[in-house]
Amino acid sequence: MVAPNAADARTVRIRIKRQDGPGQPARWEDFDVPYQTGANIISCLQWIAAHPRTVDGRDTTPVVYDSGCLEEVCGACTMVINGGVRQSCTALIENIIDDTNTITLEPMSSFPVVRDLAVDRARLFAALERVRAWVPIDGTYDLGAGPMESPRNQLTRYQLSQCMSCGCCMEACPQFNLEEDEAAWDSSFVGPHAISQARYFNLHETGAILADDRIDLLSAVGGVSDCGNAQNCVKVCPKEIPLTESIAAIGRAVTVRSIKRFFTG
Ligand code: SF4
Ligand code: SF4
Ligand code: FES
């Protein structure tokens, strides 16, 4: 980390890739934002919304972005900051500023742009539906005590449960490319988060009812064999979820299931 020097202590230049809507051409706009200790990217975007004027003195529109929790829990504010994908609410200016005194913001490239820095993550959630990322219990009647779970399972599942569907791992994955055609989502790569969530629910005593369905889905086109093992996903996950471990575990489950099917038909 390099602190802003005396000459540029008054402002930080925020360079933003903007787009007026889906399919519209992109453009860059620069803003000089007063530097404040403790400021983060969201607070800078809020300042820009109140003062939408570029460095060359042109009035413009406030920059559109997504956010919710402002504490790295919802994943909505994910964007590409200085070339790396991460949450903007926890991106403190003092930690990311360098000698250029300029911070670049771009929308994630693996999801369609809605406007400016806001993207549509619907495919991410569709992938969770595809792998049946839920525990199949319905009804309000008393189900009694739940099944026992080993402390080791609890520990693994706790780690996996921290996924906030932010999209970082998909943005970093070379196999997960922008796919705007919804019809293609059923056969395109589900992504590392969905593989990990399939493992999470397969480890759940009741969720395991759908384990074979999940493994069958992940054996098919767009499943675990589409992973090229580049391991970019695990490096960018803000929750340090062991994604490559999950991919390996599901890969083993796919092999075991195909051997079983070979013998049982
Ligand atoms: S696995 Fe990590 S990077 Fe991927 S969506 Fe979940 S929290 Fe984000
Ligand atoms: S390990 Fe697989 S899922 Fe992770 S980034 Fe590489 S190709 Fe994508
Ligand atoms: S606003 Fe929820 S993670 Fe940033």
Same CATH fold assignment for domains 6-118 and 121-264: no
CA distance 35 to 97: 11
- The predicted model gives 4-32 an average pLDDT of 86
Indicate which residue's Cα is closest to atom 3 of ligand 2: 192
Closest ligand 3 atom, residue 89 Cα: 4
On the CB side of 168, CA atoms within 13 Å amount to 28
- The predicted model gives 131-154 an average pLDDT of 86
pTM of the predicted model as reported, rounded to 2 decimal places: 0.92
Cα of 189 vs centre of ligand 3, distance in Å, is: 25
Ligand 3 site, residue 247, Cβ cutoff 6 A = no
Choosing from 169, 199, 233, 246 the residue with most ligand 2 atoms within 8 A of its CB, the one to mutate for a pocket test is 233
Ligand closest to 164 (CA) is 1
* CATH 1.10.1060.10, applies to 121-264: yes
Crossing angle of the two packed helices 211-219 and 243-264, in degrees rounded to 10: 100
Give the pLDDT confidence score for residue 9 in this predicted structure. 56
- The candidate with the shortest Cα–Cα distance to 79, out of 241, 244, 236, is 236
Domain boundaries, the chain: 6-118, 121-264
**What is the token pair recorded at 158?**
């706790």
* CATH 3.10.20.30, applies to 6-118: yes
81-136: per-residue pLDDT in tens? 999 999 999 999 999 999 999 999 999 999 999 999 999 999 999 999 999 999 98
Cα of 190 vs centre of ligand 1, distance in Å, is: 13
